Structure formats: structure tokens, C-alpha cells
Structure 1
Amino acid sequence: MDIDVLGTLAVRLDGVSITPTAPKPRQVLALLALRSGQVVPVGVLAEELWGSKPPRSARATLQTYILQLRELISAALENGAGDGAGRRCQAKDVLLTVPGGYLLKGGEGVSDVREFERLAGCGYRAMDAEDYPQAARLLREALGLWTGPALADVHTGPQLRTEAKRLEESRLCALDQRVDADLRLGRHRELLAELTVLVNQYPMHESLCAQYMLALYRSGRRGEALDAYQRLRAALVRAMGLEPSPALAKLQRSLLMSGPETVPARPAMSGTAAPVG
């Protein structure tokens, strides 16, 4: 089974789509696919579909959605997929009813989430080893698996919203490290267009702002780098009553007062924004 969630939802069994078109069965499949190989309790599925107040018919309705998914699985299995022991595989062997919930068996297929996490992990290790060309390549490959926001075409309840947020945080972390690797390789001019878009998309993301400031400064545009700091500061103060973190404020001061040789290659952004006043 191949599972794609980093963009639109696509689940294929033996190359045949088993992704339903109806919204609620899509939600059920998305949650089962994200947790393939794990038992998803009935209560978790009910919360995803109906929030904290499921209808009295929730269990029966959920069973209907499971049957609809099994019908799609059965259609995909008509080409005679087996279980490796000569027995014809059935839908209930792929989407199992287990005590307390359901389990989707992903088998040895491809999951774009697992592949993203594998490539990103290799990229982080390359960063730790200061192998910046390898890190940039691996992280760029990992990010290339994303074709849009996670679960872009799925209506999300509380469970899937949490999963989508987790995946987006993972994407931003990989993006931050890939930009860092490119900066360390002297690619500041090539990064400017991308970072311009990113700081507009994430106006209070301090790490991206720091990278944008460095790319501008190294491109001979110190005034614009200082303007970027002021825009982020104004956004933080207006939205949360916070000042930029000490690390970002230190970078701003270094751009104001230092020569190019003393501006850090990449500021440590471990600090958090500080309250105003």
C-alpha cells in the first residue's frame, strides 16, 4: 500500500486507488493511513468525525464508513493479491477490526511521511557533521516530497488537525535547516527570492527572519536587512506584546555596528521573544 498525505490524500493498493470521494470516509481513511500498522480506537475516530459530541448513531455510522472503505479495498484486490502463503487476500485482511478499534495494514508500500522523515533525519545528521552540501541535497529532496499542505483536500477534525500541525512543524524545521545549509555554502543571493516569500508567509518566524537578514546583508542590502527586523518586531509587538528574542536582537546590533567579517554565519536562535516593557 502506498500512502501520500503531504499534499492531497492518495492511498493506493497494488497501484489502484482506494481513496473515497465522500468527505467523512476520507477522514477515516486519512487517520487510519497516517497511523497505518497501529490500532486506531473507535473513540478517536468518533472524535475526529464529530468532535466532543458524537451522535448516538456514531458507532453504526462509523461501521458504515469502514464497510465503504473495504468495498474499495476489495475492488483493488480483484487482481488476485495474496498474503504470501497462497491465500487470496481479502479486504478484512487489509483493514482489520480489532478489539476497541481498527487497523490498516500498510505492508511494505511507500509512505511519503516515512520517506520525508528518513531523508530529513539523514539531512540533520549531515548538518551535525558539517557536511553542508550533503545536508542541503538531502533536505531539498525531503522537502520535494511535499506537493502542498498536508491533507490539503481532506476535511479535518481535531485528530487530523493535530497531525497536520505536527507535519507542518516538521516541514518548517527541515526548511530552516536546508536554508541554513545553503547560507553556509554562500548561496545568499539565490535564497533571496525564496526567503522574501517565506517571511511574508510567516511574518513572526524569527529563524526565517534571521536567515533573510543575513542573505540581504551579504548581498549588500543592509538597509533592507534592518527593515526586515523592524517589520518582525512590529508584528510581534502588535500580535503578542513581545519583543524579538535576544538572539535576533543581537544579530540586528551586529548588522548595525559590525563589519562583514564579524557578522555570524548563522545566529543561534534558541532564545524566545521577550515581553515588551
Structure 2
Amino acid sequence: MEIGVLGSLVVRVDGKSALPSAQKPRQVLALLVLNANRVVPIAALSRELWDDKPPQSAMTTLQTYVLHIRKILGKVLGMTSAQVGREILVTRPGGYMFRVEPGALDLHVYEQRLAEGRAALAVGDNHRAARLLCDALTLWRDPPLVDVQPGRLLEVQIRRLEESRLSALEQRIEADMRLGRHHDIVSELIELAAEHQLHETVHAQLMLTFHRCGRRSNALTVFRMLRRSLYEELGLEPSMKLERLHQAILSCDPVLDTPSDTGALLLLDRLAEGMVRSA
């Protein structure tokens, strides 16, 4: 079985889709799959479907949705609904659980590669980190669950996934910066900064990349634009870390170029801790 949430919802067996067409059963399936191999309480499923105003028939309706999903799965798997209920979409005390095999769910594969990539980055294995983080990001097809109408719980899960993807992008870019690939990533960073106009880490990476590409004026412009956006949107000033990076770029501080394997995230931490000099 092939299951995907990093884009449109996918549940396929030998190329045959096992997705319900109606939105409510699709919401149930999406929440179960996102929490694969864990029990999802009936109360959580009810909240997802009806917020805090479930109908009197909520329990019966939810059971009907689960039965419908089991029938669809059974049809493509060549199993009865009862077999699916025993082996895949199982009833547990107080809730339901969707069982998946290792490697079947794209989210699980993504999280495994992401964890390995972060671990490699933490110990300075930058080539391995860049490869693993790139592999993790290639699993994304579109925004998560783009074809599912989310309720309150799915909205939270979707935001968490989107934040995870952005964090993975930042760390993959960090690995590329440590490898000296600044000219290769500058266009990508320009697009990211335009998409995330209040995100300091992305802007810090773009500032340092511009500086190391010999485009100091562009780096300073990025800071000015971020400062204006933060003030106009939130009434805030840039963080002390970003201010120190800005001052270092203004003064052409050599710490921005050495050591050559220092990316923006590591450099910002060192500037904040006073481990390197900035004018």
C-alpha cells in the first residue's frame, strides 16, 4: 500500500485508489493516516468533523464513515471489511488506529530522512546532511493534504507540516552554505525570502549568501526590507542576532568569510554568543 500526505491525500494499492470521494470520510481518513500506528480518540475525530457542535447522531455517523473507508480499502485489497477492520483500520478502546507498514507512508520516510540529515548536520557531515535533507524534501509533491477540506485538528497538523518543511529547507540550505555552494542557492533564497517576508532565518541566509557572492549592497538591502516589513506588520525590530549580522556586513568583518564551512545558522549563534568578533 502506498500512502501519502505530503501533497494530495494518496491511498493506493497497485495503482488503484482507495480514497473516499466525500469530504467527511476523507477528513477521517486523513486524520487517521497522519497519526498512523497511533490511536486517534473518537473525541478527536468528532472535533475534526463537527468542531464543538457534534450532531446527536455523531457516533453513528462516524461509525458509518469508518465502515465506508473499510469497504473501499477492502475492495482494492481483495479483503472483506471485517478483515480490514482486524488488520488495517482497527477499532481500539476509545478510538481507531490506521496501521501502516514501514516505508508505506511518505510522512514517515520524510521524518526519518530529516532526522538523519539533522544529525549529520549537527556533527559537521555536511555532504551527507545536504544529500539526506534534499532526499527528504523531494518527497513533497504539493502543500500537505491540499485536496482535503480541513477541520480544526487537521489545520493544526497541516501548519506543523508546513513549518517542518520550511525548517528542513533552512537546514538543507545551511548544509549547502557550509559546502560553499552560495552561487547555487542564491536564486532559491530570493524566492524563499519573497514568500516568507517576516522570516528572519531565511533573510539571514540570504544576507550572508549575497555577501559571500560579492553582493554586499544586496545583502544590506535585504536587511532594510526585512526591518521595514517587521515594523509595518508587527511593530517589531529585527532580533539582536540579525542586527549583529547586519553590522558585520556593514563593516566587511572577516568573520563572515572564515571559517569557510560556517553557514548562516551557525554564524548567527556564534555572533550571539560573542564567540567571534563583529565590528
Q: Counterpart of 1:229 in structure 2: which amino acid?
A: F
Partner of 1:170: 164
1:199 aligned to 193, 197, 221, which one? 193
Contact 1:32 1:40 in 2 (8 A): yes
TM-superposed CA distance for 1:89, in Å, is 7.5
Contact 1:248 1:269 in 2 (8 A): no
What SS does the aligned partner of 2:6 have?
A: coil
Hey, what's the Cα distance between the residues in 2 that align with 1:147 and 1:209? Answer: 25
Partner of 1:275: none
Partner of 2:99: 105
Q: Counterpart of 1:238 in structure 2: which amino acid?
A: E
Q: Counterpart of 1:220 in structure 2: which amino acid?
A: G
What SS does the aligned partner of 1:243 have?
A: coil
Contact 2:103 2:109 in 1 (8 A): no
Query: Is 1:130–2:129 an aligned residue pair?
Result: no
After TM superposition, list the pairs within 5 Å mapping 1:75-224 onto structure 2. 75-78=75-78, 90-93=83-86, 94-224=88-218
Query: Is 1:26–2:20 an aligned residue pair?
Result: no
Partner of 2:58: 58
Deviations 1:75-95 (A, max 9, x none): 0222x69xxxxxx98122221
- How has the CA–CA distance of structure 1 residues 102 and 173 changed in structure 2, closer, same or farther, with 3 Å as cutoff? same
What SS does the aligned partner of 2:21 have?
A: coil
TM-superposed CA distance for 1:74, in Å, is 1.5
- Unaligned 5+ runs, structure 2: 273-279
Partner of 1:84: none
Deviations 1:134-155 (A, max 9, x none): 1111101101100111111111
TM-superposed CA distance for 1:133, in Å, is 1.1
Q: After TM superposition, what 4+ stretches of structure 1 lie above 4 angstroms from structure 2?
A: none
Partner of 1:263: 256
Deviations 1:186-243 (A, max 9, x none): 1111111101110011011111000101111112211111111111111111111111
TM-superposed CA distance for 1:53, in Å, is 1.2
Partner of 1:254: 248
Q: Counterpart of 1:99 in structure 2: which amino acid?
A: P
Hey, what's the Cα distance between the residues in 2 that align with 1:57 and 1:198? Answer: 46
Q: Counterpart of 1:262 in structure 2: which amino acid?
A: V
Contact 1:42 1:102 in 2 (8 A): yes
Contact 2:245 2:268 in 1 (8 A): no
Q: Counterpart of 1:17 in structure 2: which amino acid?
A: S
- Unaligned 5+ runs, structure 1: 82-87, 272-277
TM-superposed CA distance for 1:21, in Å, is 1.6
Contact 1:77 1:89 in 2 (8 A): no
Deviations 1:63-113 (A, max 9, x none): 2211210110120222x69xxxxxx98122221222211121223451111
Hey, what's the Cα distance between the residues in 1 that align with 2:60 and 2:241? Answer: 55
Give the aligned length: 263
Hey, what's the Cα distance between the residues in 2 that align with 1:205 and 1:134? Answer: 26
- How has the CA–CA distance of structure 1 residues 28 and 17 changed in structure 2, closer, same or farther, with 3 Å as cutoff? same
Hey, what's the Cα distance between the residues in 2 that align with 1:252 and 1:268? Answer: 11
TM-score of the two chains, using structure 2 as the length reference: 0.88
Contact 1:247 1:268 in 2 (8 A): yes
Hey, what's the Cα distance between the residues in 1 that align with 2:233 and 2:111? Answer: 32
Hey, what's the Cα distance between the residues in 1 that align with 2:243 and 2:109? Answer: 37
TM-score of the two chains, using structure 1 as the length reference: 0.89
